[in-house]
Amino acid sequence: MSPNVKGALLALLAFAVFATHDVFVKVLGANYSPIQIVFFSVLFSFPLATVVLMRDAKPGTLLPRHPWWMALRTVAAVTTAISAFYAFTVLPLAQTYAILFAAPLLITILAIPVLGEKVRLRRWLAVIVGLSGVLVVLRPGSTDLTLGHAAALAAAVGSAVASVIVRRIGADERPVVILLYPMMANFVLMGGALYFVYEPMPIEDLGLVALVAAGAWIAGRCIISAYQEGEAAIIAPMQYSQIIWAALFGALFFEESIDAMTLFGAAIIIASGLYIVLRESRADDTSTTPVLRTRSRHETGTYLRPGPFLRLIGRHPDSPERPEK
């Protein structure tokens, strides 16, 4: 089996686990606030995070070298976490994914002012077409737009902001700092808000939250292994396989069906995202390192992100010491 095939299979497995994770979030959301779900998922993630963070033997403190950028990234990750968890609770799975798939398009736009990337005409056209796909999914004027739709859009924007900032400061900041701050912010802020929304959780629901935390970290580790095996241009597009799981799980567990306009809009968004990822994989297409190179899924600060962890172990796709396959 070639490295690219192995990497693609690992990525497909990761996104299948992520889709299962989102089903659990939706089930829990029927009885609990997203604030409570985020808090306990982060709480159960801390033992896993501790094991990972212990791998960083680099001397130094946990104070960020770019505090304002780190603060903005943390706010973006926390916003994405609460917004995405809420959107999964109230919207059909496929519709939520379709809107979240707009994040790579927004990353392309944000990379211009934040990273100084030069986006050429064809990538601009891809972004415009992709954003038109979001409008097809939302259908403003013909359907009622709800707080869930706003939350999904907020999650896409927050995820894009967090991803671009990681590219902006990732070379200077310790991976431990990048991984830890959003988790701590989720824990503190959601813990503070828990007083207003808390509902007692029986042991089976606590177990389900533990599965949410474990699933996210297992999926995150699978994506990391995928990037270690295969080329980024092969791995990154695998995130769009989640729309298939959304259709399957939505029909099986929630009596959801994908309407024609949502499917059409999702197809437009996915096609645009694929084009941008493939364009960014070309070395001569941008003057800076492509920000989508280790793109996986929306940043929530509740699980293991590929980019910082790969830097932690010295196997980032952009790292010169990464061995050739």
CA distances from 291 to 9, 43, 156 (A): 23, 30, 15
User: Chain centroid to CA 136: how far?
Assistant: 22
Q: What is the mean pLDDT of residues 72-89?
A: 94
Pick from 101-110, 193-202, 310-319: least confident: 310-319
pLDDT at 211 over 90: yes
Q: Is the pTM of this model over 0.85?
A: yes
Cα–Cα distance for residue pair 106/221, rounded to 1 Å: 25
Phi/psi at 10 (5° precision): -60, -40
The pLDDT value given to residue 156 = 93
The pLDDT value given to residue 280 = 66
Cα–Cα distance for residue pair 118/111, rounded to 1 Å: 8
Q: 227, 317 in Cβ contact below 8 A? A: yes
Q: Which amino acid is at 164?
A: V
When the pLDDT of each residue in the chain is averaged and rounded to a whole number, the result is 84
The pLDDT value given to residue 1 = 73
- Paired tokens of 255: 């009596």
Most confident among 35-49, 103-117, 265-279 (mean pLDDT): 35-49
Residue 174: how many CA atoms within 13 Å on its side-chain side?
Answer: 16
Percent of the chain with pLDDT over 90: 42
pLDDT at 111 over 50: yes
Cα–Cα distance for residue pair 65/181, rounded to 1 Å: 13
- SS3 at position 245: helix
User: Chain centroid to CA 81: how far?
Assistant: 9
The pLDDT value given to residue 319 = 46
DSSP 8-state code for residue 259: -
The pLDDT value given to residue 289 = 45
